[in-house]
A and B are shown apart, each in its own frame.
Chain A
Amino acid sequence: QKEVEQDPGPLSVPEGAIVSLNCTYSNSAFQYFMWYRQYSRKGPELLMYTYSSGNKEDGRFTAQVDKSSKYISLFIRDSQPSDSATYLCAMKGGGSYIPTFGRGTSLIVHP
């Protein structure tokens, strides 16, 4: 079993839809939970991160962490074609710079 599991998709939605992206993990030591966006042929860009459990909102994006279930989610409201990219979840312990990544979910938002 991998430490971080993420459905690769692709996930195809119409413009304006609410998108839900999810990851599960097995390592209880993870404290930081991150979401990266990666456009084709580019490096990952950090979208947002959450420390420990709870929710965090940033514009159209909301990140949720449920440590009891070892489950994290990213919601995108009013999705736009420009949101089409691969979304990578990643996690790390508090004292480490080294994140463990999921394999990424490919999101396609069509007009």
Chain B
Amino acid sequence: DAGVTQSPTHLIKTRGQQVTLRCSPKSGHDTVSWYQQALGQGPQFIFQYYEEEERQRGNFPDRFSGHQFPNYSSELNVNALLLGDSALYLCASSLATGTGTPKTQYFGPGTRLLVL
């Protein structure tokens, strides 16, 4: 059973460019959350997608947008990249009808983005 997968593993962009990161949830999961983890910091919640709609959003600007596909996979898009967007971007999946206990959310390995 494949866990949460993310692509690419790492990439380098320049300021002002746009980037798309991808996530495939754990088999059987239908909800995807995205987090940004800056170096030396804990993950910060960006947003969560369920039934192809953004269900919750953290304190991130509109430059950060996402999408969820019918197969539950998800994309994170970041426009007009800033140096401060350099971070590890984590995807986590869960089941909407789950009990809500922490065990039901699984993290992927992340995509490391460097903005020059």
Give A contacts to B, CB under 8 Å.
4, 6, 8, 32, 34, 41-46, 49, 51, 88, 90, 92, 94-104
What are 16 contact pairs spanning A and B, CB under 8 A? Answer: A42-B109, A43-B108, A46-B105, A46-B106, A49-B102, A88-B42, A88-B43, A90-B102, A97-B33, A97-B100, A98-B48, A98-B56, A99-B102, A99-B105, A104-B40, A104-B42
Closest to B91 in A: A43
Report A-chain residues with C-beta under 8 Å of the C-beta of B106: 46
B98 CB to nearest A CB, Å? 8
Give B contacts to A, CB under 8 Å.
4, 31, 33, 40-45, 48, 56, 58, 90, 94, 100-110, 112
A-B pair count, CB < 8 Å, reads 63
Q: Decide if B110 touches A42 in the complex (CB within 8 Å).
A: yes
Report A-chain residues with C-beta under 8 Å of the C-beta of B45: 98-100
Closest to B45 in A: A98
Q: Which residue from B40, B101, B107, B112 sits with its C-beta under 8 Å from A45?
A: B107
Q: Decide if B101 touches A103 in the complex (CB within 8 Å).
A: no
Report B-chain residues with C-beta under 8 Å of the C-beta of A8: 40
Q: Decide if B40 touches A32 in the complex (CB within 8 Å).
A: no
Given contacts A8-B40, A32-B101, A103-B42, contact A98 B107 (CB under 8 A): no
Q: Which residue from A32, A92, A97, A101 sits with its C-beta under 8 Å from B42?
A: A101
Q: Decide if B103 touches A46 in the complex (CB within 8 Å).
A: yes
